[in-house]
Structure 1
Amino acid sequence: MQSPAPFARIGTRGSPLALAQAKLVRRLLCEAHGVGEDEIAIEVFSTGGDRSQAANVELATIGGKGVFTKEIDDALLAGRIDIGVHSSKDVATGMPEGMALAAFLEREDVRDAFLSVKVQSIDHLPERARFGTSSIRRAAQALRLRPDLEIVPFRGNVHTRLNKLLEGVADATLLAMAGLNRLEEAHRATAILDTQNFMPAPAQGAIGLAVRSDDDRFRSVVTALDHAPTHAAILAERTMLAVLDGSCRTPVGAFTSGSGAGLTLKGEILSLDGQTSFQAEASGATPEALGQKVGKFLLEQAGPDWVRQWMA
């Protein structure tokens, strides 16, 4: 006798953090809809972003943000899974046709953490210290404060990067506090950075749930988990990013605070060396309009010549 179809099939990457996020989503879905964990299947996918990590290849050279979601997106559109679970900052601003980010779990800590086994802060790093990161935003923000630093490629999951620090591949790195918290590794943070000097990536700290655009059933299923203030903040930040045409080639930061009519979005763009940067801020009640406004403010400040060079 054929087994009954599961209540839902979740698609995720296979890293410890991605699996922790998928299991969190499964638990919340079970609680919201009164089903057992055995009724929600978790399908694990190896993405192009995952496969490129061993070679320490920069994300910008292999396709940018979408390299961590493509295989999951393809499976979703083909009907092999019902829900894609993503770190929202990894989702490209231009999503594949037929897909929608329908819900966001309540946002975790948005801040970056400084990690080192040698010093207590970025200020204490010695001259020409090796700063490990694969994020051009983090590299630019670090170079803004410490232009002497040597930026070295630094990819892998959280535990891989922690091991690289112990092996001396780099003297320090930055990781998202959200990931450390979800892996119960917050104690690894040497210092937690302020959002003024180290504005997080747009959508950092939020788990996004993708469904097929025309699938009303699973849109309803995931909407039960949607956290409205987080949804509004991520929508504002992703709209700003779209205005800037942001990708893994562009150093962009964003931070949203407040909720409802008191929503405030701060945005930042930087040169790769961190020596030129522009910030803008606006408040409002409509996330899309807010993102449009801050994005346009940033482009107006930077000017067409600088923007063309930045986006080249």
Structure 2
Amino acid sequence: MKITIGSRGSPLALWQANWVKDRLEAAGHELRIKIIKTSGDKLQNAALVASGTKGLFIKEIEEALLVGEIDLAVHSMKDLPTELPEGLGVAAVPEREDPHDVLVSSGCLGLRELPPGARIGSSSLRRQSQLLALRPDLKMVAMRGNVDTRLRKLDRGDCDALVLAGAGLKRLGFAPRIASWFREDEVCPAVGQGALSIEVSLENANVLQAIAPLDHPPTHQSVRAERAMLRALGGGCQLPIAAYAKYDSGVLHLTGVVASPDGTRVLRTKASGKAEYAEDLGKRAAAALIEQGAHELLGQAESRAG
């Protein structure tokens, strides 16, 4: 069958769309990719957290999906809001790349080797808060743009180091630039980081059938737990919320983090449960964080953004 994929035009987004395209073509389908410019692409010079809008990299693509201009959308799962428009759903989540964050630095120095007051390029409150908890002396520099743009900014001296998702660097061939990987007890990843989301109209039975083989149940269940935690906390991907679920023989082990923007308080929780009850696990983790004071910290982050 003929299938049109909707994608952003960034190198990473197109890598992801082509990954799906190649696999569907191998199954005998005819594919094309339609590039759609999103609100997030138009806000490259603005701080994401100040935009106040969820789904900045998704909205226009979902609109194209709803009116039938495209048959499916390929997103970075971490960009996908926890609440989807009526009639749309995540039909497949392929196997996840390593979700951890990495440090890319001048001279390939690790975090502890960076000089006092080193400038870290990141616009993510999640990353900033956890980095400041590890090294309060670090200076955070707002950094937007595609992966290659950020690397160029580092190379020209706009900052001393970057913190990025390792998955994106690996997918684009920049793995040699990685100085070190963060463990989740140092910098816990974003909800859904390293995973792809294939979103479709739930009424399109033919497309649902075509993409079903791309789903990886352990990854899908892990992401469901993480997203359920985020949803229960009432947060979006711009707030200092982190979660990572590991799948092991039918059991999910979920780590959840909420931090104050300045890194002086970092709340952590761990919870485990059967993978088929992924959403209940996420809700339990959120409840534990709320009991520790998560809403207060998230309120601080929202006030700072406002």
TM-score range, shorter chain: over 0.9
Structure 1 match to 2:18: 23
1:207 has 2:199 as partner: no
Structure 1 CA distance for aligned equivalents of residues 95 and 233 of structure 2:
26
**Contact 1:59 1:65 survives alignment (8 Å):** no
Change in CA separation of 1:249 and 1:27 when aligned onto 2, cut-off 3 Å: closer
**Contact 1:109 1:177 survives alignment (8 Å):** yes
1:140 has 2:129 as partner: yes
1:49 has 2:40 as partner: yes
**Bigger mean CA offset, 210-219 vs 271-280:** 210-219
1:71 has 2:60 as partner: yes
Structure 2 match to 1:123: 112
Structure 1 match to 2:158: 169
Structure 2 CA distance for aligned equivalents of residues 299 and 311 of structure 1:
16
Q: TM-score, structure 2 length as denominator? A: 0.94
Match of 1:280 among 239, 256, 269: 269
**Contact 1:113 1:176 survives alignment (8 Å):** yes
Cα distance, 1:181 vs structure 2: 1.1
Task: Specify the SS of the correspondent of 2:120.
Answer: strand
Residue by residue, what CA displacement relative to the aligned partner does 1:6-53 show, whole Å, maximum 9, x if unpaired?
61000000011110110000011122x323xxx201000111111211
Residue by residue, what CA displacement relative to the aligned partner does 1:149-175 show, whole Å, maximum 9, x if unpaired?
111110111110000001111111111
Structure 2 CA distance for aligned equivalents of residues 309 and 165 of structure 1:
30
Structure 2 CA distance for aligned equivalents of residues 62 and 19 of structure 1:
24
Structure 1 CA distance for aligned equivalents of residues 246 and 254 of structure 2:
7
Cα distance, 1:260 vs structure 2: 5.2
1:10 has 2:11 as partner: no
Cα distance, 1:258 vs structure 2: 2.0
**Bigger mean CA offset, 258-267 vs 17-26:** 258-267
Structure 2 match to 1:159: 148
1:294 has 2:288 as partner: no
1:228 has 2:223 as partner: no
Residue by residue, what CA displacement relative to the aligned partner does 1:171-193 show, whole Å, maximum 9, x if unpaired?
11111111011112111101111
Structure 1 CA distance for aligned equivalents of residues 43 and 85 of structure 2:
22
Structure 1 CA distance for aligned equivalents of residues 298 and 143 of structure 2:
27
**Contact 1:136 1:248 survives alignment (8 Å):** no
Cα distance, 1:305 vs structure 2: 4.7
Structure 2 CA distance for aligned equivalents of residues 260 and 234 of structure 1:
16
Q: Which amino acid aligns with 1:293?
A: R
Cα distance, 1:307 vs structure 2: 5.4
Q: TM-score, structure 1 length as denominator? A: 0.92
**Contact 1:60 1:248 survives alignment (8 Å):** no
Task: Specify the SS of the correspondent of 1:278.
Answer: strand
Structure 2 CA distance for aligned equivalents of residues 207 and 214 of structure 1:
21
**Bigger mean CA offset, 300-309 vs 208-217:** 300-309
Give 4+ residue runs of structure 1 displaced > 6 Å after superposition. Answer: none
Structure 1 match to 2:28: 34
Cα distance, 1:64 vs structure 2: 4.2
Cα distance, 1:214 vs structure 2: 2.2
Task: Specify the SS of the correspondent of 2:55.
Answer: helix
Structure 2 CA distance for aligned equivalents of residues 64 and 197 of structure 1:
28
1:241 has 2:241 as partner: no
Residue by residue, what CA displacement relative to the aligned partner does 1:53-100 show, whole Å, maximum 9, x if unpaired?
1x2x11122244401011111100110000000000001112222211
Q: Which runs of 5+ in 2 are unaligned?
A: none
Identity in percent: 42
Structure 2 match to 1:3: none
**Contact 2:240 2:301 survives alignment (8 Å):** no
